[in-house]
Amino acid sequence: MSATTRILCVDDSAAVADAVRCLIESQPDLQWVGHLQTADELVSEAERLRPDLVLLDLDLPGRPAFDALAALVRSESNTRVIILSGFMSDALVDRAFDAGAWGYVNKNDGPKAIISAIRRVQKDEFALDLTAAG
Amino acid sequence: MRSVLVVDDRLSNREYLVALLGSTGFEVLQASDGAQALEIARTHSPSLVIADILMPTMDGYQFVRQLRRDPQHAGTPVIFISGQYAEHEARTLAERCGVSELLVKPVEPQAILAAIERAMSCGREVATPPTQAQGEPFERLHRRLLIDTLAQKAEELEATNRRLAALVALCRQLAVEHEAKRLVQVFCGAAAEIMGARYVMVALRDVVGSDLRHIVASGHDDGMVASISTPMAAMSALRVESSGKPLAIMTAEDVIAEAMAPAFLQQTPFVVAPVVTAVRSYGALFFGQLVGRRPSDSSDQEFAAMLAAQLGIAYENAARYEQVHRHSEDLQLEVGERRRAQEEARQLTEELECRVEERTRALEATHQQLRLSERMASLGTLCAGLGHDMGNLLLPIRAHLDTIGRMGPNPEIAPHLTAITECVGYLQLLTNGLRMLSYDTREAEGDAVTDLESWRGEIMPLLTSALPGGIRLECRFDKRIPSVRMSRQTLSQAVFNIVNNAADALRSRGTGSIVITATSGDGDNTVSLQIVDDGPGMSEDVRARVLDPFFTTKRRAFSTGLGMTLVHSAIKKVGGSIEIDSAPGRGTTVILLLPAVAGAEDSETPLVESKPIAAISFRDQRTQAIMTKLLQSMGYDTKPGAGPDHERAAIWFTEADAGRLDAARNFLQSRPNGRIAVAGALDEDWRRLGAVHLGDTLRPSEIRTRLREFALSNGSQCPA
């Protein structure tokens, strides 16, 4: 990964996207590259915007998030994806594992958890608090 | 027409002769005594007179003497038919009064007809009038004969009386004897005496069927006793049974004539009588060696017939009695059985009612639970949406608050910011609670297992830090407590909630103690985790509602009222249960009964004390990262970049790649307790290594499932 980590946020909630932008912009080594309200154009937008990391919500209108994630992995993009969802369960974590995600963060764990997850993936670690997932 | 005068006091005798003479062409005249006969003789002048001797009013001798005195009828031929008394004297008297023919009863018809012919052919010349000069005077002779006859009659009468008395006694005995075998024995003894027989034998068939059932002998002839079929053989030889009448055999010649077995030779004279009733024929009664019998004596046969009839009736009655008795016994048995069956049926009914009642109660409970879970499900859906939306709102609020916080201190807005942050904290708490309510713990729990010893190490500092000063927390666990089938997080949340409630109850007093104990029970199938406080306790009303959603005794700002509901639902979902024992002034005890992992106590090494070092080698960077994350969560020490050459690595997690075979062999050779866990399709070489197989694919979810199975089968979370 380059010195600056470029981050794209996919969330149908403008408020969440706005909050994530605030978080990203508070960190000097992180760069906000944009926001998608659906995952419909994820593969093409990722190609265009070339983010290092995508924060992907699961509860989206349009194309299912896991579907878009798998397509992104198949496109041999170097972009890594962290799931950022208000829901979390073992089954969802397993689906994220298999779809090719690099992490899973619960929105309810707060802003710090998001930053911490980004840091982990930057260090090639999988971003997941397993005790929280059960 | 020639006529015959028949003189006899017995009508039956006269009728017999009338019938006999009817075929001879005689006109038959009748008289019932000597006087009447004399009158008829004088008026009718019969060609022949057949007279009995002993008759009332005027006997046969007197009648003949009177007749002989009448010159007109003196030559009428007379035949005497008499009983067998003093035959010699009777003959002498008959001759004295000019009667040449004297027949002794019983007399065959041919003998009578022959005597008639003889008397008729001699005609009147034969009769010689009686003369006083010949021998003893007739009168004296006649008197003596009468006296002798009377004496003999008296003797016979006495003997008959004795027999009758014995018979009556026997009948009485037979009447009271109900057992067939004893009855036959009693009969045999008595019958021998009644009949004057040296030998008595009875053979009787079963009352139903044709089997010989009773063969009883009385007497001392061993030879005959040995030949037990004798009465039946005799009966069949003599065809007694078919005739239904007794038969007397007087001499050995008769036995030979009848072609009977030689054994019967010694038994003469004997009588065989069939034992017959109105219902059926039962067998035979045999009287052997009848002492001093005359062939003319028919009373033996009559007695034998009578005895046989009595025996038949008594035997039949006894058999019937036995049958009735058996039936009554059977009936009593049946009644007893029926009573028992009724009792059983009653008990069954009671049991059934009990079970129906139980089942109804269970159904009602299930129904109630269903209603509750329906409510909970709709509540869960609501909570899920609400939790999600609130989470989506809270994240930006918290992010913006953080941003404001980073803008540097501003005394004017700082207190407002603190207030907002506090409110958001509470909202986040509520949201987390809502999320938990919507959370399907069954899915989340999976096969999660928590080692209580290591859990205790983690939770105690957390709990202690959360408690206000003055409240003491103590932990007492059984040695080698089994692991529980529940995730660490859920268990922590549950205990955290309960301890917090206890602390809240103690807060007003400022001091108190909370004790957490863990004991294994129920054959190590459950672990009982008890949280005991010495606080003020709860009223019955509070205790009953404490698990209800949104029930709280605290100020709303500090409590969501969901804590205990969440604890309850989490515990129930892993198959455990929760009990609350509390009363005002007595403190509160919350008991969590949790399913234990069998055999977990065998894992001797506490994971926390010495974590096994795992070497992890996967080509794919992400898979390597996931494996590291998973193995860390399972209690392994995952040294960054540690490969199979790491000197302290106890287990190597890798993928089935031919290029890694040598390294794998070396790994195992250099470590006597070393193990290898491998993902991907295995060939023979990998199989021979005896590696733990983590599945044919490198799919992380599959590897995770295999890791869990492996950890469970080893009774711990750690495959090492």
Q: Is the backbone peptide bond immediately before B129 cis, with ω within 30 degrees of 0?
A: no
Cβ atoms of residues B303 and B163 within 8 Å: yes
How far is residue B535's CA from residue B542's CA, in Å, rounded to a whole number? Answer: 14
- pLDDT, position B87: 76
Residue B595: asked if its preceding bond is cis (omega within 30°), the reply is no
**Amino acid at position B490, single letter:** T
Q: Is residue A48 part of a domain?
A: yes
Inspect the interface and report whether the beta carbons of A19 and B432 lie closer than 8 Å: no
Measured between CA atoms, the residue of chain B closest to residue A58 is B388
* The token pair that represents B417 in the structure block: 């910011």
CATH of the domain at A121: 3.40.50.2300
Q: How does pLDDT run across B274-283, given as a tens digit for each residue?
A: 888 888 888 8
CB contact under 8 A, A134 and B406: no
Average the pLDDT over each of A60-64, B189-193, B415-419, B696-700 and give the range with the smallest value: B189-193
Residues B139-144 have a mean pLDDT of 76
Q: Is the pLDDT of residue B335 over 90?
A: yes
Residues A126, B629: C-beta atoms closer than 8 Å? yes
Residue B129 has pLDDT above 80, yes or no: no
What CATH number should be reported for the domain whose range is B3-153? 3.40.50.2300
pLDDT of residue A131: 55
The residue type found at B648 is R
| Domain B441-602, architecture per CATH | 2-Layer Sandwich (3.30)
pLDDT band at B601 (very low <50, low <70, confident <90, very high): very low
Please name which of B15, B17, B75, B82 lies closest in space to residue B41, comparing C-alpha atoms.
B75
Q: Cα–Cα distance between B319 and B178 in angstroms, integer?
A: 8
How many angstroms separate the CA atoms of B51 and B57, rounded?
14
CA–CA gap between residue B562 and residue B548 (Å, rounded): 8
> B613-713, what's its fold?
Rossmann fold (3.40.50)
Q: Which one-letter amino acid corresponds to residue B67? A: L
Q: Specify if A36 maps to a domain.
A: yes
Res A14 pLDDT > 80: yes
Q: What is the predicted pLDDT for the residue at B716?
A: 45
Q: Residue B623 pLDDT > 50, yes or no?
A: yes
- Say which range, B162-171, B341-350, B684-693, has the weakest mean pLDDT: B162-171
Does the residue A134 lie in any domain?
A: no
pLDDT, position A8? 97
Cis status, amide bond into B106, omega within 30 of 0 = yes
CB B659 within 8 A of CB B672: no
Q: What SS3 class is residue B95?
A: helix
Hey, do B441-602 and B613-713 end up sharing a CATH topology, with the first three levels equal? no
Q: How many Cα atoms occupy the beta-carbon half-sphere of B361 within 13 Å? A: 5
| B605 pLDDT more than 60 | no
Residue B683 has pLDDT above 50, yes or no: yes
Neighbouring CB atoms inside 10 A of B335's CB total 10
More confident residue, A53 or B371: A53
Mean pLDDT on B559-586: 79
Q: Pick left, alpha or beta for residue B473 (phi over 0 → left; psi -120 to 50 → alpha; otherwise beta).
A: beta
Could you give the CA distance from residue B535 to residue B509 in angstroms, rounded to a whole number? 8
Report residue B17 as tokens: 């002769």
Q: What average pLDDT does range B594-601 have in this prediction?
A: 69
| Backbone φ, ψ for residue B174 (5° rounding) | -65, -35
> DSSP assignment, residue B103?
E
Which chain B positions have a beta carbon within 8 Å of A87's beta carbon?
A: 384, 388, 435
Q: Do B629 and A100 touch (CB under 8 A)?
A: no
Look at residues B623, B497, B512 and name the one whose alpha carbon lies nearest to residue B562.
B497
Res. B439: pLDDT tops 60? no
Q: DSSP state, B482?
A: P
Average pLDDT rounded to a whole number, residues B49-55: 87
Tell how strand A103-106 and strand A80-85 pair up. parallel
Contacts of A98 in chain B (CB under 8 A): 699-701
How do the domains of chain B map onto residue ranges? 3-153, 177-321, 441-602, 613-713
Q: In terms of CA atoms, which chain B residue is nearest residue A88?
A: B439
- Compute the distance between CA of residue B257 and CA of residue B107 in angstroms, rounded to an integer: 22
Hey, of B395, B424, B697, which one would you mutate to test binding to chain A, going by the most A CBs within 10 A of its CB? B395
Query: CATH number for the B177-321 domain, one of 1.10.1060.10, 3.30.450.40, 3.40.720.10, 3.20.20.70?
Result: 3.30.450.40
Asked whether residue A55 is domain-assigned, the answer is: yes
Per-residue confidence at B54, pLDDT binned at 50, 70, 90?
confident
pLDDT band at residue A64 under the 50/70/90 scheme: very high
- Chosen for mutation from A30, A107, A112 (greatest number of chain B CBs closer than 10 Å) is A107
Cβ neighbours around B641 below 10 Å, total? 10
Position B487 confidence tier, pLDDT thresholds 50, 70, 90: confident
Contact criterion met (CB below 8 Å) for B183 and B216: no
Digit-coded pLDDT (tens) for B346-403: 999 999 999 999 988 888 877 776 666 666 566 667 767 777 788 888 888 988 888 8
The yes-or-no verdict on residue B267 having pLDDT over 80 is: no
| Beta bridge mates, B450 | B484
Rounded to the nearest integer, the mean pLDDT of chain A is 90
B704/A94 CB distance under 8 A: yes
Q: Mean pLDDT score of chain B, rounded to an integer?
A: 80
Question: CB burial class (10 A; 0-12, 13-18, 19+) of residue B204?
Answer: buried
pTM recorded for the entire structure: 0.46
Please tell me if residue A14 touches chain B, with a CB cutoff of 8 Å: no
| Residues B7-25 pLDDT 10s | 998 888 888 888 888 878 8
- Quick check: A77 contacting B, CB < 8 Å? no
What's B534's DSSP letter?
A: -
**pLDDT tens string B516-568:** 999 887 666 889 999 999 988 888 888 777 776 556 676 544 555 566 777 78
Query: What's the Cα-to-Cα distance from B50 to each of A51, A86, B171, rounded to whole Å?
Result: 163, 147, 41
Confidence band, pLDDT 50/70/90 cuts, at residue B607: very low
Residue type at position B58: M
pLDDT value of position B465? 67
B248 φψ region: left (φ > 0), alpha (ψ -120 to 50), beta (else): beta
Contact indicator for B418, A39 with CB cutoff of 8 Å: no
Kindly tell me if the per-residue pLDDT of B608 is higher than 70.
Answer: no
> What average pLDDT does this structure show over B175-185?
83
* A64 touching chain B per CB within 8 A: no
Q: What percent of chain B has pLDDT over 70?
A: 83
> Which phi and psi (to 5°) does residue B689 adopt?
-70, -20
Residues of A in contact with B630 (CB under 8 A): 130
Mean pLDDT of B443-453: 68
ipTM associated with this complex: 0.91
How many distinct structural domains can be found in chain A?
Answer: 1
Residues of A whose CB is below 8 A from B633 = 130-131
What average pLDDT does this structure show over B673-698?
Answer: 88
Is A105 inside a domain boundary?
Answer: yes
pLDDT of B686 strictly over 50? yes
Is the pLDDT reported for residue B230 higher than 70? no
Instruction: Give Rg (Cα) of chain A.
Output: 13
User: The domain containing residue A80 runs over which residues?
Assistant: 5-128
B637 DSSP assignment: B
Q: Which of A86, A108, A134 sits opposite B444 (nearest CB)?
A: A134
